[in-house]
A and B are shown apart, each in its own frame.
Chain A
């Protein structure tokens, strides 16, 4: 289970010389810039929570705080009761994080890289081997596990990333735009895999720009806009609140209304 409680992240404000007052970003507050502001939500075990928002909404910052890469400026987040600030190493043992921009070690083979992360997670060699066999079979990777990552296709690389994310069998899995840049077949394989995670009782946080993926996978969604939480609820609620059948339009309506609310 993920519990996020009034979490905020500020960075030192950058001066914009020559910028007119009306062009000032609403996230600027004195010397601080709020990348994420006062966000609260929760995701139960065995559910898929969609994290949505336009570019620059604060999604990556939020995910970095949840994954303990960044420390929250205010508020907190807990994974099964384990606090990201107080026990970051324990949180990292519980989560797997897959991003579209997380790279691979090009001069290592897929097997070497996954084994490396297994060791960093403190797994015994026998357990690493067993887990690798399971993942290679599940993700249909056996044909290329001993090839160097540099020589793999985008789809193969994404499978290696997934195996790397799951080597320690995490309870919570965070997918940050996992299908970006993939062809239809590779994207479909990833989506099926995410569905299977839910079936296994894992908590999934799924971040994407593709509304058809949200429609298909997510039980609940949270929408961020300019650092603020502008919606939290189910897909049905998203449609009913906005009166839009299409999820794309519902999303845009929520973003527009958030813009109006914060401008007021």
Chain B
């Protein structure tokens, strides 16, 4: 019996490894594309951030004669360049046409208001559409410093000469934070949901193409019928095929995990400070436990995909079924990314979401190992149930010889 399963497994693996498409989904995408994409993305974000901090901001100012000190503060500040535009009403269009980055309008009453110790509202026009834009921060900083100078003078006029006295007046009650979460937990909470999502997607993608090929593909080519006529039991065929799909799914998931691990290990060294310490604190044991979580995930996907594939009459039909099936992997994995979803016993019973949440907890370093065992155990049981269903499904004539 074992020999038959092994014979089928080895033959199918040989075919799978000779198939370029499978190799792309199983090896190339998870190993190469993800780190390359992440490198490009990180590089792009860093460059955009750097540019936003250092680029010269062009601006227009109206009413500078009412508050020349403020206008001078911008002229003296490095990284700002004044541009003349004809009328105040043209500020918005000038921003849209990228002639200026922001516009300021100082009211006529500004000087008088300041002298009377009143508050002056300077109109600030800018485009907030870009996520990386630092226009508001940089311009606000100049205005804030200008404002703080007047505030100090006013407070000194009230007899509060020292900065400490002024601070006590402005903030009679303050908060001293004592965060019990360490930095790893904080960062894990913020980025830890994304990683299992990627691992699960790669696991699904790695299993999908071979599943279609080994089920519907064999049916379409007419090789399934000859296999059914070999003196072996049908569950042995199912097990042989299942193991191949499982192998490709696990391989894709583990390769994506490994390539990210390698990338963090190499790139992580370049990162200093607390973030570097956080990366270094993710141990090999954590990575092994993450890998352990991905094994039943791959088994579930393999059994479901094989069942769907064997039902389809052709490669095309199987592809059409597997497309929407993607959502069954994506949606539960995505749920774990939502900030309100935390790993508790309720979510520990939701397949895929529990895997995703457990991986997130492992990254955060806050895993409850009792829950980890329960999730791993329940996932293995679910994968077993899917495999049992697949095996029974494969016995049905209406499925194998569907017209």
The distance in angstroms between the C-alpha atoms of A95 and B19, with both chains bound, is: 32
A120 touches B221 (CB 8 A): no
B7 touches A67 (CB 8 A): no
A106 touches B222 (CB 8 A): no
Task: A107-B18, A108-B14 are known; give 17 further A-B pairs, CB within 8 A.
Answer: A67-B229, A69-B225, A89-B231, A89-B232, A92-B229, A92-B230, A93-B231, A95-B229, A97-B226, A97-B229, A103-B221, A104-B221, A104-B223, A119-B3, A120-B7, A120-B231, A122-B231
Chain B residues with CB under 8 A of A71? 397
Mark A86-108 against chain B: 1 for CB-CB distance below 8 A, else 0. Answer: 00011011010101011111111
Once A69-B401, A105-B15 are accepted as A-B contacts, the answer to whether A121 and B222 lie under 8 Å apart by CB is no
The answer to the question of B4 belonging to the interface, with a C-beta cut-off of 8 Å to chain A, is yes
Residues of chain B at interface, number, CB under 8 A:
25
Mark A195-208 against chain B: 1 for CB-CB distance below 8 A, else 0. Answer: 00000000000000
- A178, chain B: closest CB distance, angstroms: 14
- B350, chain A: closest CB distance, angstroms: 37
B397 touches A70 (CB 8 A): yes
A107 touches B229 (CB 8 A): no
Chain A residues with CB under 8 A of B19? 107
The answer to the question of B233 belonging to the interface, with a C-beta cut-off of 8 Å to chain A, is yes
Using a CB-CB cutoff of 8 Å, which residues 214-247 of chain B contact chain A?
Answer: 221-223, 225-233
The distance in angstroms between the C-alpha atoms of A90 and B232, with both chains bound, is: 10
The B interface is mostly helix, strand or loop, or mixed, namely helix
The answer to the question of B11 belonging to the interface, with a C-beta cut-off of 8 Å to chain A, is yes
Once A69-B228, A71-B397, A97-B229 are accepted as A-B contacts, the answer to whether A120 and B4 lie under 8 Å apart by CB is yes
A164 touches B7 (CB 8 A): no
The residue of chain B having its C-beta at the shortest distance from the C-beta of A97 within the complex is B229
The residue of chain A having its C-beta at the shortest distance from the C-beta of B12 within the complex is A105
Which residue, of B226, B397, B401, has the highest number of chain A Cβ atoms within 10 A? B226
- A86, chain B: closest CB distance, angstroms: 14
- A169, chain B: closest CB distance, angstroms: 13
B225 touches A99 (CB 8 A): yes
Chain A residues with CB under 8 A of B7? 116, 119-120
Using a CB-CB cutoff of 8 Å, which residues 1-46 of chain B contact chain A?
Answer: 3-4, 7-8, 11, 14-15, 18-19
A121 touches B231 (CB 8 A): yes
Chain A residues with CB under 8 A of B221? 103-106
Using a CB-CB cutoff of 8 Å, which residues 44-70 of chain A contact chain B?
Answer: 64, 67-70
B222 touches A102 (CB 8 A): yes
Residue in contact with A108 in the complex, picked from B11, B228, B401, CB distance below 8 Å: B11
The answer to the question of A28 belonging to the interface, with a C-beta cut-off of 8 Å to chain B, is no
A70 touches B230 (CB 8 A): no
Residue in contact with A112 in the complex, picked from B4, B14, B231, CB distance below 8 Å: B14
